[in-house]
Amino acid sequence: MTSEAPPRTPGQIIKNLAVGQFARLAKIDPAGALEARRLASGAVTLYWRVTLAGKAHREVIGPYDGSAAPKSLKPTDRGYSIAAAVRAAEALAMRHKEHDGGIAAVRQAEKQAREQEQIAQAAQAVTVGEAWAAYLAERRPHWGERHYSDHEALARAGGQCAVRGTRGRGVTVAGPLHPLMSQPLRELTTPAIEAWAQCEGQSRPTVARLAWRLLRAFLAWCSEHPGYRAAVPERNPAKSRRAREALGKPQAKDDALLKEQLPGWFAAVQAIRNPAQSAYLQALLLVGARPGELLGLRWDDMNTQWRGLTIRDEVEGERVIPLTPYVWHLLAGLPRRGQYVFAGEDGDKPMSKPHKAHASACAVAAIDRLTLHGLRRSFGTLSEWLELPAGVVAQIQGHKPSATAEKHYRVRPLDLLRLHHERLEAWILEQAGVQFDAAQEPGKLRAVGG
């Protein structure tokens, strides 16, 4: 009879292990086995092996230390003894059994945790300015030009040389949000925002209130962004009663043209030497648009066939209003120097809002405190003389519907709006004493104050 060969020990198996070969050393409870593999360098690496979905999955334990005490349960500086490797493999096997998805799910969870930690660490280092730039880049496709430019202007640094808009300083002033841009995002706390509001509210409360609203929306975006949510508190730090009170309440504006002021105002505005400024101010009164909306009007927005103007609405996106006869003549008489109807000097951008020219005209007409937005307000108040339907006026001006019927059951086509709009324009011109022949060819207007 031939006697069976005695089982080999793990040490013997490792000693006879060929380069690149895996060898099983011991069964691991509750799952898997301890394996070894010899590298080309001669060193041996120990693994815990388990079968997942019919495929072998190995987890590295570490290098084998043949000089370590065989029963030592702690790894040495050079590696693991067999006993220490078995203990490490058993720990991996227990985690494999305890987790629903096994060791692969454990490793995936660990990987995600490491990635989240890296994101959190990066978020702790990011500045408000860096997150602000990312916010503007992501949201720009969803915003109008005016809304985007407001975000840029309110965070812009000052000190740039400028001819206009500096009130004699010669350089621009930093936007109210600029002092916050260099701060770490994690330091944009409620006390920091309250201190900022206290400072800005004393010098420029109106623009600071706008900046505060934009800042509030920005922080809400950060709280939902995976790259920045770790740096901001769960509760929006800009939603503070103290910050709101420091910025004060906006005062209701009531500036508007009276019917008796129309002759003097038209005469003074028509006398402005810059034809684009003169046409803009008159059109602003006669279409009731927001100042920025009308300033961004392009030649492509004029539909002379169906006599419509497409206004890029700051609230709803865009709306189409009637191109009334007098306004059509005003716009057709302007030179085409680019895509914008009211083009600036270079033709690539709209001209600046003619605040100064309008103020001078109002001074000539002895009209006090009439702003550009007051002309929009005048459109609404003057329409009441003719008792025009409130919904018609609101649709022309771009106001949101205020009742269920207006929202869901009133769809006024352009020709119905034109019926009321042209009636209002003719009445305003009549009250202003402006002689105008609506049958004249557009672009050959001769309007004379009567």
Q: For residues 152 and 246, give the distance between their C-alpha atoms in angstroms, rounded to a whole number.
A: 23
Tell me the two tokens of residue 143.
């915003």
> Which pLDDT does position 123 carry in this prediction?
60
> Which pLDDT does position 230 carry in this prediction?
82
Q: For residues 30 and 415, give the distance between their C-alpha atoms in angstroms, rounded to a whole number.
A: 82
Cβ neighbors of 65 (< 8 A, separation 6 or more) are: 75, 76, 78, 79, 80, 81
Among residues 303, 286, 310, 322, the alpha carbon closest in space to that of 426 is found at 286
Q: In what order do the strands lie in the sheet with 33-38?
A: 22-27, 33-38, 44-52, 55-63
Among residues 50, 57, 20, 22, the alpha carbon closest in space to that of 36 is found at 22
> Which pLDDT does position 103 carry in this prediction?
66
* Per-residue pLDDT tens over the stretch 60-105: 899 999 888 878 888 888 899 989 999 998 888 888 877 765 666 6
What are 36's strand-pairing partners?
23, 46
Q: What is the pLDDT along the chain (450 residues), one digit of tens a residue?
A: 455 555 578 888 888 888 988 988 888 888 889 999 999 889 999 998 888 767 778 888 999 998 888 788 888 888 999 899 999 988 888 888 777 656 666 677 667 767 676 666 666 778 999 999 999 999 999 988 888 999 999 999 877 765 555 555 567 888 999 999 999 998 999 999 999 999 999 999 999 999 999 999 999 999 998 888 888 888 999 999 999 999 998 877 789 999 999 999 999 999 999 999 999 999 999 999 999 999 999 999 999 898 999 998 766 678 899 999 999 999 999 999 889 999 988 778 899 999 999 999 999 999 998 999 999 999 999 999 999 998 899 999 988 776 554 554 466 888 899 999 999 999 999 999 999 877 776 765 444 344
Is-contact 237 197, C-beta < 8 A? no
> Which pLDDT does position 170 carry in this prediction?
64
> Which pLDDT does position 449 carry in this prediction?
43
> Which pLDDT does position 139 carry in this prediction?
95
> Which pLDDT does position 227 carry in this prediction?
82
Phi, psi of 154 (to 5 degrees): -75, -15
What are 59's strand-pairing partners?
48
